[in-house]
Structure 1
Amino acid sequence: MAALHYTIRPVDPAAHLFEVELELDAPQSGMRFSLPVWIPGSYMIREFARNIVWLRAEADGTSVPIAKTDKHRWQLGKLPAGASSLKISYAVYAWDLSVRCAHLDRSHGFFNGTQVFIAVEGREHQPHRVTIDAPSDPALSDWIVATALPEAGAPRHGFGDYEAASYDELIDHPVEMGRLTRFEFQVRGVPHEFFINGAHDCDTARLAVDLEKACTEQCALFGDAPPPFARYVFLTTVIGEGHGGLEHRASTALLASRNDLPWRGMKKPSEGYIGFLGLCSHEYLHSWNVKRIKPAAFKPYDLAQENYTKLLWLFEGFTSYYDDLALVRAGLISPDEYLKIVAKTVNGVRRAAGRKVQSLTESSFDAWIKYYRQDENSPNAIVSYYTKGALVALCLDLALREKSGGERSLDDVMRHLWAQRGEDSAGVAEDEMPEIIRAATGIDLGRLVHALTEGCEELPLQKVLHGVGVELAWDAESEAPVLGAKTAADGDQLRLVNVYPDGPAHRAGLSAGDTLIALDGLRISASRLDGLLARHAAGDVLKVHAFRRDELIETELVLAEPEAIKAKLSLAARASAPVRARRNAWLGQS
């Protein structure tokens, strides 16, 4: 028996239950065990221990006491004299269809180690052996296993023994099991496997070719060496509607709409497929940027509580910048298609009033309580370190290109980060990025970095884009006047989802959650709103009837002009030769 040996079994797919056994030698009375309360890459306390259904312990075959001491820890009681081995058994309820937790039914099984493997405190750095058992139901005998976890006797894609050098490595290799579609491609001699769970009509040959191009481009960002793993695995679950990903050291877990996958005969890439390629590109780049180049605050992770950093704009924002940029550089989308994606990002940031009150460093620090726990006021109070962080990366990249005459770029910064802050380094300190940029490029952008990340002023997009021959124009999203609120259909009624500060709905005393029932004495619904607004002009006064809970509200609302917040990006027709050269280098065009 290995020093630490887990066995995990999909004992009851219909009840969504995994059973886990943890065996260890040389047990001691009072030993403590714990389960993480969050998973790296998803910055919210999730309290995985709530899914433990039951737990018991026995030493040398005899039951011994084990008590819970807080929400995620257990402590062993007094052991019999001379006890040489300990087994802890427990059941895990797995019914969270996401990339963060665990899910089990008769169609497949999936788990992250943070939800199913209890840690032995003080022994986290020992080797950890895992036996993954097959389901006992003969109808599921054709299931296979997909994981980047190193085999220790198990056949490739089979049930059996796997191993990890430490607990940290153990929980960084998610596992998928089921009837999976599989294909493979190579990046610089390293095998990359892609698995799909769920009904689909994917053109896997096309997806393999396109992913190989995107991954090769991301690898090239960091130099000429092979990627920093021996094998990489994409684990994808497809459903009717879904989108999400979570990075790991040699794999990623993805959730996607089946309609976003390419189909045989598809000619031009659909918007959904481009988005899916961007998602794969994003999670793949994380293999460098956050899995190995980390904030100093994450070295090591403390999985018992929040780990605060002001740098998520770097680790998520820069990754969000390069995920789509890699697609145009790899020739998977055109420059015009790429500019449409950037414009969509600009629009998302510009629509949210939260950009005026929360800085990127504040957004990063407060991710634990704000970004991952959004409510009806979030658009007015927060800014996304993903989307605004991507635009900050764009601003820094284009500023470096212009100041250096095209000789330096953000690519140099990423390569410098990999060389100096990758793998076994101490990580990136909270206020270190201006010096890292200067060391990588010889250019001092300290004041700009501070303004873009610590302040709430509008980003200098027009200026930096002009430097690469891209024109930015602003339009209103509609010709009709606006309510100053986001609405949604609620059955046959119209509900206010968000009310924007200083807008017509706000000034009229309306709030998120209110249900509009009549405007100017006429019943209103989601299907009728646009037509009604089109018949009015800014400044018109509407009499509003609404329900707040079960109480009727009567008020007057003054319609406003729509804001010019819709960005349109286009290649400048008359850019100079140096500007065109910088643009081509930026977009990877010959």
Structure 2
Amino acid sequence: MKKFLALSVLAAFSQSVWADVNYSLAVTQPEHHLGNVSVEFPQTAQAHLDVKLPAWRTGRYEILNLANGVRFFEAKDENGKALKWEKVDASTWRVHLNEPTEVNIDYQVYANELGKRARHIDDSHAFIDASGFFMFSESFRQDPVTVKLDVPKAWRSVSGMDNAGSKHSFKAANYDVLVDSPIETGINELHKFKVDGRDYELVIWGEGNYDVDLMLNDLKKLVTTGSVIWDDYPYERYVFMVHATSGAGGATEHINSTIIQRPRDRFGSREDYLAFISTAAHEFIHTWNVKAYRPEGLVPYDYTHMNFDKLLWIAEGSTSYFEDHLMVRAGISTTDEFLNTLTKTVNRHLATPGREVQSATETSFDKWINQGGDHARNYSTNIYSEGALISMALDIDLLDKSKGKQSYRDVHRALYSQYKMPHGFSVNDVKAILKELTGRDYSNWWADNVDAPAAIDFDALFAKVGLELVRPKGAKAVASIDAVAKNSGELLTLTHVRRDGAAWQAGLTTDDKIVAINKKHVGKDLTASLETFKAGDKVTIDFIRRDALQTTTLELNEDFDKDKKLVARKGATTEQMALFKAWMGVEHPNLAKK
């Protein structure tokens, strides 16, 4: 009897392991952003089956409460009989079972969150990230899945997943692959190309001022650069999805694709185009950094809870750092354009008082709860720009101490080699790689630059690669209250008050409305109103707070009408220029101009 039961359990387990979870989505009322979802789960003998919709989606470290779009939930057994169910938390439906049975789920989804890149349906397309549409059960999370779409005949469906017998159906090895393989279906244009034996697709939804030929030309260059850092490619086919739209912007990485959203009229100028192609480079790098290897706090993904980790600055910031390198090496952007971009990052960092307060470790861990706005700027950093600058500091340190033979690229090559998914890496793992590469203990460097707010000496750092931060010729000293204001009609409203600056010390804060300086009405431009003053002058500020007129006095500080700019050092040595080439893969600007 025991042997019979054991065989029965084994057979049931085997059936579960190899059975598919089948999803279908019918776009029923696209003009109202509605779709109907059906899910067929394999037979199970559990007393209940918990089915969940993710509370967040990969690539965005924020609880999105995606279950708020679900209505008309129903559960039936394999014979079509209704099953009792109850909601047990924000994202979980518990289906009660009286006997072994397949479980079939039906529900409606409201999909009108384009900017979150989780779900969107309208009369021209649907963007389908599984986290916003398709429920899962931990019991069948590793089972193969299929997705079938019922969409208008004129629509085209594209995904990084393989087709499953028809142009509107797809298959994946398991739910984790499905949730990381979005589908773009609708009225779109599709371009296919091949580079180094790998297949690529560019699918664009929406009309805009983009140049498809330029996009394809640069994407072909971009995808050759993986070998600059890593030993191989983790895919055979990759899809670039682009939304030329309005009211949404941003991008998200996936294991076999990316989705990039930009305003439809923000592709044409060189500045706008570089913003687009650098985003493509960022997401392309994520194919390795985050998707092929990632910090242990994200392994495996817990789709219904926050996934805390202290290394998000590597996951995101290092990706931001490398994107400009790959574009320069590919010949997509020039060295001057790279220096302009890096200048903006450095100046933004220097203008952020939060850099003196929050470390990369802290901002990584707190990414899930970080606030925005003025408080964040004064007391916080972010994993993207801060992580990029720390990555740069580490990279130049490695290059300098090895005379160009070792770099931060070697660290990521080792992470990819040693910690491929499903393994994750820890802080100690990164330190161990650094010691293995260099023979030096980086614990003190880590304590000073990662676990504590980084105090980067940019002058010393850039000098090593033959660069310097200088004030542009003709820059003039100007008086400043150390605050930013925007025109809100008749008055200027403070939007940022720099911590410990002149306005801060005088008691001014965000949302105060500036009326007058020394009893003279302030116009639409705060800078223009301060032109007649100089640093050190004491002035009286009349302002409105809570609808009441108030007055304070402050002493003006010195600022400049032009920020410092990163340029080639005129007297750069041969060693410094050689280190620049080892760093960027191209000649130092002084040599390139000869």
- TM-score over 0.5 for the pair: yes
- Per the alignment, residue 418 of structure 2 pairs with 420
Alpha-carbon separation, structure 1, partners of 2:300 and 2:275: 32
Are 1:175 and 2:183 counterparts? yes
- Give the secondary-structure state (helix, strand or coil) at the position aligned to 2:243: strand
Describe how 1:261-276 pairs up with structure 2 within 5 A: 261-262=267-268, 270-276=270-276
Cα 1:517–1:107 change in 2 (3 A) is: farther
Are 1:244 and 2:263 counterparts? no
**What's the CA shift for 1:530?**
2.1
Summarize deviations over 1:147-177 as a string: whole Å, max 9, x none. 11221112xxx32x21111111111111111
Are 1:74 and 2:93 counterparts? yes
- Per the alignment, residue 356 of structure 1 pairs with 356
Alpha-carbon separation, structure 2, partners of 1:115 and 1:584: 45
- Per the alignment, residue 143 of structure 1 pairs with 155
Identity, % of aligned pairs?
Answer: 32
- Per the alignment, residue 438 of structure 1 pairs with 435
- Per the alignment, residue 378 of structure 1 pairs with 376
**What's the CA shift for 1:84?**
3.7
Describe how 1:276-355 pairs up with structure 2 within 5 A: 276-355=276-355
Are 1:256 and 2:298 counterparts? no
**TM score, norm. by length of structure 2:** 0.91
Summarize deviations over 1:360-415 as a string: whole Å, max 9, x none. 10000110111xx3133110010122111111111111111111111111122221
Summarize deviations over 1:186-219 as a string: whole Å, max 9, x none. 3321111111111123221221111111221134
The one-letter code sitting in structure 1 at the alignment partner of 2:176 is D
Residues 344 and 567 of structure 1 are in contact (CA less than 8 Å); yes or no, is this contact kept in structure 2?
A: no
- Give the secondary-structure state (helix, strand or coil) at the position aligned to 1:119: coil
**What's the CA shift for 1:23?**
1.5
Summarize deviations over 1:119-159 as a string: whole Å, max 9, x none. 12311111111111113xxxxx32111211221112xxx32
Are 1:387 and 2:399 counterparts? no
Alpha-carbon separation, structure 1, partners of 2:66 and 2:121: 15
**What's the CA shift for 1:431?**
3.1
Alpha-carbon separation, structure 2, partners of 1:522 and 1:52: 56
Summarize deviations over 1:396-442 as a string: whole Å, max 9, x none. 11111111111111122221111112234x22113332221222344
- Per the alignment, residue 567 of structure 2 pairs with 570
**What's the CA shift for 1:11?**
1.1
Alpha-carbon separation, structure 1, partners of 2:489 and 2:360: 37
- Per the alignment, residue 232 of structure 1 pairs with 238
- Give the secondary-structure state (helix, strand or coil) at the position aligned to 1:406: coil
Alpha-carbon separation, structure 1, partners of 2:530 and 2:248: 32
Residues 7 and 131 of structure 1 are in contact (CA less than 8 Å); yes or no, is this contact kept in structure 2?
A: yes
- Per the alignment, residue 58 of structure 2 pairs with 40
Alpha-carbon separation, structure 2, partners of 1:477 and 1:235: 43
Cα 1:484–1:201 change in 2 (3 A) is: closer
**Which of 50, 69, 81 is equivalent to 1:62?**
81
Cα 1:552–1:517 change in 2 (3 A) is: same
Are 1:53 and 2:71 counterparts? yes
Cα 1:446–1:473 change in 2 (3 A) is: farther
Summarize deviations over 1:435-488 as a string: whole Å, max 9, x none. 212223444433223311112242132222211111222579863211221212
Residues 330 and 588 of structure 1 are in contact (CA less than 8 Å); yes or no, is this contact kept in structure 2?
A: no
- Give the secondary-structure state (helix, strand or coil) at the position aligned to 2:115: coil
**What's the CA shift for 1:531?**
1.5
Alpha-carbon separation, structure 1, partners of 2:242 and 2:31: 22
**What's the CA shift for 1:559?**
1.8
Cα 1:563–1:433 change in 2 (3 A) is: farther
Deviation larger for 402-411 or 446-455: 446-455
**What's the CA shift for 1:78?**
4.5
Residues 214 and 281 of structure 1 are in contact (CA less than 8 Å); yes or no, is this contact kept in structure 2?
A: yes
The one-letter code sitting in structure 2 at the alignment partner of 1:148 is G
**Which of 171, 195, 207 is equivalent to 1:187?**
195
Cα 1:250–1:219 change in 2 (3 A) is: farther
The one-letter code sitting in structure 2 at the alignment partner of 1:178 is G
Alpha-carbon separation, structure 2, partners of 1:46 and 1:243: 17
Residues 114 and 248 of structure 2 are in contact (CA less than 8 Å); yes or no, is this contact kept in structure 1?
A: no
Cα 1:412–1:402 change in 2 (3 A) is: same
- Per the alignment, residue 536 of structure 1 pairs with 533
Are 1:546 and 2:552 counterparts? no
Please tell me the root mean square deviation across aligned C-alpha atoms, in Å.
2.2
**What's the CA shift for 1:357?**
0.5
Question: What is the number of residues matched between the two proteins?
Answer: 567
The one-letter code sitting in structure 2 at the alignment partner of 1:239 is T
Alpha-carbon separation, structure 1, partners of 2:312 and 2:452: 15
- Per the alignment, residue 215 of structure 1 pairs with 223
**TM score, norm. by length of structure 1:** 0.91
Alpha-carbon separation, structure 2, partners of 1:116 and 1:109: 11
Are 1:202 and 2:214 counterparts? no
**What's the CA shift for 1:247?**
0.6
Summarize deviations over 1:318-353 as a string: whole Å, max 9, x none. 111100111111112221221111111101111110
The one-letter code sitting in structure 2 at the alignment partner of 1:45 is I
- Per the alignment, residue 162 of structure 1 pairs with 170
- Per the alignment, residue 119 of structure 1 pairs with 136
Cα 1:515–1:151 change in 2 (3 A) is: same
**What's the CA shift for 1:242?**
4.9
- Give the secondary-structure state (helix, strand or coil) at the position aligned to 1:195: strand
Cα 1:492–1:193 change in 2 (3 A) is: farther
Cα 1:299–1:457 change in 2 (3 A) is: closer
**What's the CA shift for 1:240?**
4.4
Cα 1:362–1:565 change in 2 (3 A) is: farther
Residues 502 and 555 of structure 2 are in contact (CA less than 8 Å); yes or no, is this contact kept in structure 1?
A: yes
- Per the alignment, residue 459 of structure 1 pairs with 456
Residues 99 and 246 of structure 1 are in contact (CA less than 8 Å); yes or no, is this contact kept in structure 2?
A: no
Residues 115 and 249 of structure 2 are in contact (CA less than 8 Å); yes or no, is this contact kept in structure 1?
A: no
Cα 1:432–1:67 change in 2 (3 A) is: same
- Per the alignment, residue 14 of structure 1 pairs with 31
- Per the alignment, residue 153 of structure 1 pairs with 165
- Give the secondary-structure state (helix, strand or coil) at the position aligned to 2:411: helix
Are 1:584 and 2:584 counterparts? no
Summarize deviations over 1:278-299 as a string: whole Å, max 9, x none. 1100011000001111111211
Summarize deviations over 1:199-255 as a string: whole Å, max 9, x none. 1232212211111112211343213x3x21121011111124654111110111111
Deviation larger for 460-469 or 379-388: 460-469
Are 1:449 and 2:449 counterparts? no
The one-letter code sitting in structure 2 at the alignment partner of 1:391 is L
